[in-house]
Amino acid sequence: MRHVLVRAKAPLRVSFAGGGTDVTPFPESEGGVVLSATIDRFAYGSLRARDDGRISIESIDFGLSLDFPAAEDPAFDGRLDLVKAAIRRLSIDDDAGYDLLLRSNAPPGSGLGSSSTMMVALVGLLREYYSLPLSEYEIAHLAWEIERRDLGIRGGLQDQYAATFGGFNFIEFSDRVIVNPLRVRDSIVNELELNLLLCYTGTTRESANIIADQTARVEKHDPTALEGLRAQKDLALAMKAALLRGELDSFGDLLGQAWAEKKKMSPLITSVLIDEAYELAVRHGATGGKVTGAGGGGYILFYCDFTRKHRVAEALEKLGATVTEFSFERRGLTTWRAG
């Protein structure tokens, strides 16, 4: 196993509708559904074996490096705990040392599922290194368990499964998770790419705080929060149908409706900056849009007819936002040996 070089990449995702219905306790009581797709932004990992029985970790995103003996059980102290937790779960050879290098195309807290996607990439790296017989469902579930149970980080289920499976998916959550891959025609995917815009607000957020507030409202049976979550399920179904039929104008309108319903789940989901960017985009021709994660900052996804898309982009850039186009990525977690 010495002198082995392993690589991994897992795609980030945009969530169209249903986000929040995958967060406990809602899926256990009413069942959740999410419509999402992975894009050409990735979490990357590289693992190079070494002979001295030490593990070194370098995270480009956080600007942090760690080094410790492979036989040592690393303490959770707030420094790269996600990586330490994955190593704790998957290491099967206390004497095996290696160098880990990790980086992502999007910052943590951006709303593209970057933290969970990095966990999937990490699990994939260690599975490849140790030749572990893990299926896609097992990888996604293990990534979720490490984040939510081992580390106690609040959040849902969708990101780990989206990153592992890749592509367009309609994912169901109840007592188990079922990933339904969608066969979206290439012409529809091409048109959708042409009419979508990602707007980075320039601010990230701690999603756990928003999710904690949403969870508390569900536990208290807050009627507004529950109304928003139930509407998310209906909209996810409607958007799936519009997507498969190629009814993209309807899809764009439903994206805006999904945002209106999402805001009911917690007052922390939106902000003055998000509201200003949204109103500006609609005024310049966007049909609809929504934040791509828990809310409070990060990326906003806008649907705009291609003939007006440049005007929307110019207006958002004048506001100080960063606007980018993207392509969809049909592959999920990918691992390989490079040496």
pLDDT tens sequence across 249-276: 999 999 999 999 999 999 889 999 999 9
- Please tell me the predicted confidence (pLDDT) of residue 336: 98
* Cβ atoms 170, 240 nearer than 8 A: yes
Tokens 């190629």 belong to which residue? 246
What DSSP assignment string belongs to 267-327? TTS--HHHHHHHHHHHHTTEEEEEESSSSSSSEEEEEE-HHHHHHHHHHHHHHT-EEE---
* Cβ atoms 88, 73 nearer than 8 A: yes
Task: Return the sign of the alpha-carbon dihedral for residues 281, 282, 285, 290.
Answer: positive
d(C-alpha 56, C-alpha 68), whole Å = 7
- Which residues, at least 6 apart from 271, have a Cβ–Cβ distance to it below 8 Å? 203, 296, 297
**End-to-end alpha carbon distance in the chain:** 11
- Please tell me the predicted confidence (pLDDT) of residue 46: 98
pLDDT tens sequence across 167-195: 999 999 999 999 999 999 999 999 999 99
pLDDT tens sequence across 95-118: 789 999 999 998 777 889 999 999
Q: How many CA atoms lie within 13 A of 335 on its CB side?
A: 25
Q: Between 294 and 61, whose confidence is greater?
A: 61
Kindly state the average pLDDT of the residues 210-233: 93
pLDDT tens sequence across 81-93: 999 999 999 988 7
Q: What angle do CA 90, 94, 95 make, to 5 degrees?
A: 130
d(C-alpha 151, C-alpha 222), whole Å = 28
Domains of the chain listed by start with CATH number? 5-183 (3.30.230.10), 186-324 (3.30.70.890)
pLDDT tens sequence across 39-51: 999 999 999 999 8
Enzyme catalytic residues: 159
- DSSP code, position 265: G
Name the pLDDT band for 206 (thresholds 50, 70, 90).
Answer: low
- Please tell me the predicted confidence (pLDDT) of residue 208: 72
Average pLDDT for the chain: 94
